[in-house]
């Protein structure tokens, strides 16, 4: 049994201020001298960027769809190693999960799997005593979920907050007044990433101040410390010290255009004998010295297409290296970067395809099947993943698909390349990391 004080920050629906409060709570607890570990329910990469700023350590994701139910608690314990308290930000409404999955991968699902008490954030700007009914329903809907307290957000006045408070039987841990200055800006895929906001650290500090002034941190900590010890062993990547052969460099795209990557990806590769070296495709004129593998994760290349396109020496080097067989994994943003063009702007041209912004957002949580034996896949093998993008690639599939999803081939693959829109979490599918690392080592 492993003790870990922890709390889930949830809401009745999206747009209630969950990210604002969760990030502010992490930062306020850290400022008070606590070692805080930040986690996010679901596949989202953006919120963990803010969590990392607030906590001073990598933000982590907890998603039963991506990694399986049995790995959620081990990943929580791994990410929270050495922390005094873990704060887990929920996703959407408390009970909203994978469509058609009866709440699978919802915040409630993760709270139940990890036996973590829930603090509910409720926007009260458009209601008063009706909030009591909402909170009562949230707290009693599922007996496996423990809603231990409430934070009232967007209060119009003390009188308004008192009226709401009188309707709630659970402890009210704080009241946050209306304050447009602490809102986080949105974009076509959600929040603007922390890496893209020059004022991100200032915003997080502001959130910490607001939460410290309006929320009873001691009461939140008491709830966190009431969580029972977890009957799970922390997840661990292969120990890097156990690697006996020569180490190889894996270049990982970073910078403002490529901000999406699960922390466990680099940890797995490091344990498999790879030195993970970040580079900025918008700024760096060349790949890191000795690059033996290339990982192009997710992000917003469509926002930074002009900067990526003008870095012609790097575009040419990557095109030549990938076409020459450099082991390369590209997920979503990486796929766009490997196309000929992105919204008419030249990219690397590795793929005979063009990318462009689309009218509709694609958001799905599929199970994907390997269409053939490729760099990452084996024919017929299945993995779970997610897609989240507002672009299209034409054509959307190459001679060898990266995956088959819902009966259709998607993406581009070969013995040395794997590029598609699908994001996967390699802790849930470590064979993908192992195959990539083997190719990097020349296996």
Structure tokens at 225: 């410390």
Q: What is the H or E stretch that residue 367 is in?
A: strand 367-369
Q: Which residues contact 21 (CB under 8 A, 6 or more apart)?
A: 9, 121, 151, 153, 176, 211, 215
CA distance 135 to 118: 12
Q: Point out which residues pair with 9 in neighbouring strands.
A: 89, 119
Q: What CA–CA distance (Å, rounded) separates 373 from 376?
A: 8
For the annotated catalytic residues, the residue numbers are 332
5 within 8 A of 227, measured Cβ to Cβ: yes
> In the structure encoding, which two tokens stand for residue 439, read together?
């190719």
How far is 322 from 355, CA to CA, in rounded Å? Answer: 19
Q: What is the distance between the alpha carbons of residues 385 and 424, in angstroms, rounded to a whole number?
A: 5
Residue 296, C-beta contacts closer than 8 angstroms, at least 6 positions apart: 253, 258, 328, 329, 330, 331, 333, 334, 335, 337, 338
Strand (E) or helix (H) holding 312: helix 312-323
Question: Per-residue DSSP letters for 53-113?
Answer: HHHSS--EEE-HHHH-GGGHHHHHHHHTTT-SEEEEE--SSTT--STTTTTTTSHHHHHHH
Q: Please, what sign has the CA dihedral across residues 260, 408, 354, 436?
A: positive
State how far the alpha carbon of 130 is from the alpha carbons of 123, 127, 164, 300, 413, in Å. 12, 6, 8, 40, 54
């Amino acid at each position: 049994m492993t003790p870990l004080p922890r709390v889930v920050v949830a809401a009745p629906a999206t747009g209630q201020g969950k990210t604002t409060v969760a990030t502010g709570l992490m930062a306020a607890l850290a400022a008070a001298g606590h070692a805080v570990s930040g986690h996010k329910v679901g596949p989202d990469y953006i919120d963990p960027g803010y969590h990392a700023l607030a906590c001073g350590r990598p933000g982590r994701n907890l998603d039963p769809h991506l990694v399986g139910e049995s790995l959620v608690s081990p990943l929580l314990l791994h990410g929270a190693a050495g922390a005094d308290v873990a704060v887990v930000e929920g996703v959407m409404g408390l009970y909203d999960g994978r469509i058609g999955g009866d709440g699978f991968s919802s915040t409630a699902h993760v709270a139940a799997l990890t036996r973590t008490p829930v603090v509910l954030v409720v926007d009260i700007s458009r209601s008063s005593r009706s909030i009591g009914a909402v909170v009562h329903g949230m707290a009693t809907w599922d007996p496996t979920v423990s809603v231990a307290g409430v934070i009232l957000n967007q209060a119009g006045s003390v009188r308004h907050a008192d009226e709401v408070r009188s309707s709630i039987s659970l402890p009210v841990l704080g009241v946050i007044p209306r304050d447009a200055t602490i809102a986080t800006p949105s974009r076509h895929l959600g929040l603007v990433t922390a890496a893209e906001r020059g004022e991100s650290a200032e915003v997080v500090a502001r959130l910490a101040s607001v939460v410290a002034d309006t929320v009873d941190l001691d009461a939140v900590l008491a709830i966190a410390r009431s969580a029972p010890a977890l009957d799970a062993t922390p997840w661990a990547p292969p120990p890097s010290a156990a690697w006996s052969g020569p180490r190889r460099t894996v270049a990982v795209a970073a910078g403002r255009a490529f901000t999406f990557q699960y922390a466990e990806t680099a940890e797995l590769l490091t344990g498999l004998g790879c030195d993970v070296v970040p580079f900025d495709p918008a700024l760096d004129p060349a790949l890191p010295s000795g690059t033996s593998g290339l990982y192009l994760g997710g992000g917003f290349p469509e926002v930074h297409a002009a900067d990526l396109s003008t870095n012609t020496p790097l575009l040419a080097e990557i095109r030549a290296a990938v076409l020459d067989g450099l082991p390369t994994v590209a997920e979503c943003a990486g796929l766009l970067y490997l196309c000929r063009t992105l919204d008419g702007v030249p990219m690397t041209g590795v793929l005979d395809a063009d990318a462009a912004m689309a009218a509709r957002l694609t958001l799905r949580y599929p199970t994907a099947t390997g269409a053939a034996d490729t760099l990452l896949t084996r024919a017929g093998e299945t993995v779970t993943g997610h897609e989240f993008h507002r672009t299209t690639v034409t054509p959307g599939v190459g001679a060898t698909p990266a995956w088959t999803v819902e009966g259709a081939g998607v993406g581009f693959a070969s013995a040395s390349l794997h590029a598609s829109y699908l994001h996967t979490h390699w802790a849930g599918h470590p064979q993908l990391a192992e195959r990539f690392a083997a190719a990097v080592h020349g296996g």
